[in-house]
Structure 1
Amino acid sequence: MIGRLVRFELRYWLRQPMVYIFLLINLLLCMGAVSSDNIQIGGGLGSVYRNAPEVIYNFYALMSFLGLLMVTAFVNGTAIRDFTNNTAQLVFATPISRRQYLIGRFAGSTIVALVPMLGISLGILLGSVVPWADAERMGPTLWNAHAQAFLLYAVPNVLFTAAVIFGVAIHARNTIAAFITAIVLLVGYIIAQNLIGDLDNEFLAAMLDPFGITALSQVTKYWTVADKNTLLLPMDGPIGWNRLLWVAVSIVVFVVAYRRFSFHERARKGGAKQGEAASASMAHIALPNVSRHHGTGARWK
């Protein structure tokens, strides 16, 4: 059943233009940043190849954070669809379990939210071959750097955002609440970055960053130009521990939301409201006035 729900979400969203619009936005931004100096993502590139591994990591780290609102659109839309379409009670009346329902919906929307992140790699690849790009500033295409960046940054960052937004959405059942939460995450992270930067303990600072940008900066700050052009990220340092920590936090957030969600509680509330509405409608029925006659004419009737 979980697999069927995941497939349903994939089919539903892949028919929506929003997926491809978001993917195109990421593609164009990254293509422009690689092929031109007029667009920058995370600062200037200096003497580093414009498609170097270090550039790929930075693009994925920053774009998966800035794409927070994109993730919110998919996850919130999935979480509240049954409630906004007034089909929740029909779904809850089926044999589907709470575990199947929530995991299927969450997994499906999270996978869909990862699709626009592929636009980052597509943009870098296209930006390195467009006619107006400076070929001398381009290095070889390192596919393992793209794969590592996607797995280390796109997946954990989308998972964390999706867990928080999904937890809010299934309880608030309100689009405004979900997007306010996303904006709070966005602004709160920017403020927290200033506070984290003042910490003397660099490892702690790296661990407190849910999007892994601080850890990336710490690992690559002493890299030479040659290192940035060729090296992959080491997994035995702050980046590996940071990613494991925030994947675990994401799972905990989802589990808390899962345990607080109840089919039965919502069914009782819905049943009570329907009962109250029925009673109210019966109370307002106007009954006709009946005149009783007991004379001789009434007997003949």
Structure 2
Amino acid sequence: MWREVARFEAQLQQREFLTWVYLAVFFLLTFGYTSSGAVELVTGRGTLPKNAPWALAQAMAGVTAFGQVITTMITATAVMRDVATRQQELLFTTRLTRRDYLLGRWAGALAAMFVVYAAIPVGLVAGTLMPWVDLAVLHPFALSSYLRPLLMLVLPNVLLVSACFFAAGAMRRSFMAILLLGVGLVALWSTGISLVRDGAPWGALVDPFGNAALEAVTSGWGDAERAGRAMPLGGWLLANRALWLAVGAGALAWLARGFRFEVTASTAPRAADASARASVAPAAVLTRPARHATRWRILRCEAGWTLRWTLRERGFRTLAALGALNALANAWRAGGAHPDAGMILAAVQEHSRPFLILVATIYAGELVWRERDVRADAMRDVVPAGTGALVAGKIWGILAAQAVLVAPLLLVALLVGVVRDAQGMSLALALAWIGGLVYPFLAQLTLLSLLVHAVVQHKVAGHVLLIIGWVVAVAMERTLALPALARFASLPPYTWTAGRGFGGAAGTMAWIVVYWSAVAAACALLASVWWVRGVEGRPRDRATGALRQLHSASGWLLVASVALAAIAGAAAGSR
């Protein structure tokens, strides 16, 4: 029976448009890497051929680590489909066994992932065959250079990560559980690489994706070895693979033993009803005084509710804690024996950045989808309040919650700076840093993410587009020297020293922050006019409605935001 379930799941995954988007992303990334200079996937490659054994292993390892986002989405789709469509109750009444259900779902999703990840070596090979590629700068083709990383890095990662995600999602029956586990794996990956680079080879065992282990077994190689020596199959790399495959097997064993083939408390109707009642609590407050209420009171009510819900949400608190702990671990080693404040602040900012991106992406989506997930959107849509006020309240609430989120980063910077006696560290500097650089970055990403979710109107597609966009932007940034005004929410390279501060760059940085904040405000206004209330119409009807709303105050605010961005951009460019 499990084979029929697996076949059915594989067919469903095949029909998903996003499955082919994932495949195309992998193919285009790897194809662009070997066929042109526009995409760089290997840091520190130098003049080494892109298809040298070491470079191919590093490229496949890096793309696979990024690909855990795609593994997350495919696995979550398989494990949460029956919960989302309210069909699990029907399945639990059939003769389908727990073993057949779990094994079939996982095997079907695994088959889809194998097809998607096969695009990585195919893209690498196809790029080298293009007629415009200079064969003189390529390494001679060697099949083992592609097979070794595929068998030691790519396929084991697909197996172990999908097993862990599937077990977490099935046991908790929650998409957020899968996301939080993914964040935890990313934190282990970052920690493992940092340990190996700091001279602790046992850090190779910490990284679940094998990148740190690969770095540990190739750390002493020169250019000649990197160009001609095959990727080792033993040592720390083999130990890492054995350990984490055992973890994946343990996750599946835990699932097989603990999964209950019945509706659990987390998905029972009474829990869903309670969530729905909690989610629509502001609606009752809004409808009662609607005739006399002002827009300001509506906005405050929605903002207060959004703030309370976000701060109480377990995933938000977990991401905040993981981001702060990761920043603490890396800031503690930054700057050597005598760091200054700039080194500490830069380390905290750099190592909290992935978590801030995840928070912006996930919780901007929650603003759009929270009521729909608990089937309370229809009740909210009939509230006699303007869409602009409701959306503004949501934005105000989430930005207030994010101000709370960055507070631990401020404490981490001050704690490390004081304990390590960092030169120049002060409360005023830390406050200026958190309020002028870190928080604006998070707010700007959130407003852009909100616009994407409002326009796309597909939760998973919105998340995938945003995360892929961030990763592609990082890959392109390595090869394209784009100015800060052309890279969303970015600043020009800067260094803070105790003697010179920002070295005269503070004014330029301030104008660029204003520029991107104005662009983000324009994104928020566009998200408001694209916001769906009631039944979603055709794209043409939605576009017509959005244009119609721009003839009101929203249009004037949009013009003001664009004008401010133009002024700030001109001021930054003239300095």
* 8 A contact 1:114–1:154 mirrored in 2: no
Relative to structure 1, the CA distance from residue 139 to residue 199 in structure 2 (aligned partners, 3 Å threshold; closer, same or farther) is: closer
Q: Per-residue deviation at 1:195? A: 4.3
Take 1:272 and 1:34, find their aligned partners in 2: how far apart are those partners? 54
The corresponding residue for 1:80 is 80
Q: Per-residue deviation at 1:41? A: 1.0
In the alignment, does 2:236 pair up with 1:253?
no
Take 1:29 and 1:142, find their aligned partners in 2: how far apart are those partners? 21
Relative to structure 1, the CA distance from residue 92 to residue 125 in structure 2 (aligned partners, 3 Å threshold; closer, same or farther) is: same
Give the counterpart letter for 2:6 in structure 1: V
The corresponding residue for 2:145 is 145
Please state whether the residue corresponding to 1:263 is helix, strand or coil: coil
- Map 1:72-151 → 2, pairs under 5 A: 72-151=72-151
In the alignment, does 2:43 pair up with 1:43?
yes
- State how many pairs are aligned: 270
Please state whether the residue corresponding to 2:118 is helix, strand or coil: helix
Q: Per-residue deviation at 1:261? A: 0.9
The corresponding residue for 2:20 is 20
Take 1:124 and 1:44, find their aligned partners in 2: how far apart are those partners? 19
Relative to structure 1, the CA distance from residue 220 to residue 195 in structure 2 (aligned partners, 3 Å threshold; closer, same or farther) is: closer
The corresponding residue for 1:219 is 217
Q: Per-residue deviation at 1:62? A: 1.1
Aligned-pair identity in percent equals 28
Give the counterpart letter for 2:259 in structure 1: F
Give the counterpart letter for 1:174 in structure 2: S
* 8 A contact 1:53–1:145 mirrored in 2: yes
* 8 A contact 1:167–1:257 mirrored in 2: yes
Q: Per-residue deviation at 1:179? A: 2.6
In the alignment, does 2:160 pair up with 1:160?
yes
Relative to structure 1, the CA distance from residue 45 to residue 195 in structure 2 (aligned partners, 3 Å threshold; closer, same or farther) is: closer
Q: Per-residue deviation at 1:72? A: 0.7
Take 1:142 and 1:6, find their aligned partners in 2: how far apart are those partners? 35
Relative to structure 1, the CA distance from residue 100 to residue 220 in structure 2 (aligned partners, 3 Å threshold; closer, same or farther) is: same
- Once superposed, which parts of structure 1, at least 4 consecutive aligned residues long, lie more than 6 Å away? none
In the alignment, does 2:184 pair up with 1:205?
no
* 8 A contact 1:196–1:208 mirrored in 2: no
Q: Per-residue deviation at 1:16? A: 1.7
Return the TM-score normalized by structure 2: 0.44
Give the counterpart letter for 2:31 in structure 1: M
Q: Per-residue deviation at 1:154? A: 1.1
Q: Per-residue deviation at 1:13? A: 0.9
1:198-226 CA-to-partner distances (Å, cap 9, x unmatched) read 454x2x22222211111111222333434
Pairwise CA RMSD: 2.4
Greater C-alpha radius of gyration: 1
* 8 A contact 2:188–2:207 mirrored in 1: no
Take 1:58 and 1:213, find their aligned partners in 2: how far apart are those partners? 8
Give the counterpart letter for 1:157 in structure 2: N
* 8 A contact 1:56–1:145 mirrored in 2: yes
In the alignment, does 2:66 pair up with 1:71?
no
In the alignment, does 2:53 pair up with 1:53?
yes
Unaligned runs of 5+ residues in structure 1 are 274-301
* 8 A contact 1:19–1:115 mirrored in 2: no
Give the counterpart letter for 1:148 in structure 2: R
Give the counterpart letter for 2:120 in structure 1: I
Relative to structure 1, the CA distance from residue 199 to residue 50 in structure 2 (aligned partners, 3 Å threshold; closer, same or farther) is: closer
Unaligned runs of 5+ residues in structure 2 are 272-575
The corresponding residue for 1:232 is 230
* 8 A contact 1:69–1:179 mirrored in 2: no
1:164-193 CA-to-partner distances (Å, cap 9, x unmatched) read 221221133233442343234324532453
Take 2:187 and 2:269, find their aligned partners in 1: how far apart are those partners? 40
Q: Per-residue deviation at 1:229? A: 3.0
Please state whether the residue corresponding to 2:95 is helix, strand or coil: coil
Q: Which has the higher contact order (CA 8 A, sep 6+)?
A: 1
* 8 A contact 1:35–1:134 mirrored in 2: no
Q: Per-residue deviation at 1:71? A: 0.4
Give the counterpart letter for 1:51 in structure 2: N
Take 1:160 and 1:69, find their aligned partners in 2: how far apart are those partners? 14
Return the TM-score normalized by structure 1: 0.80
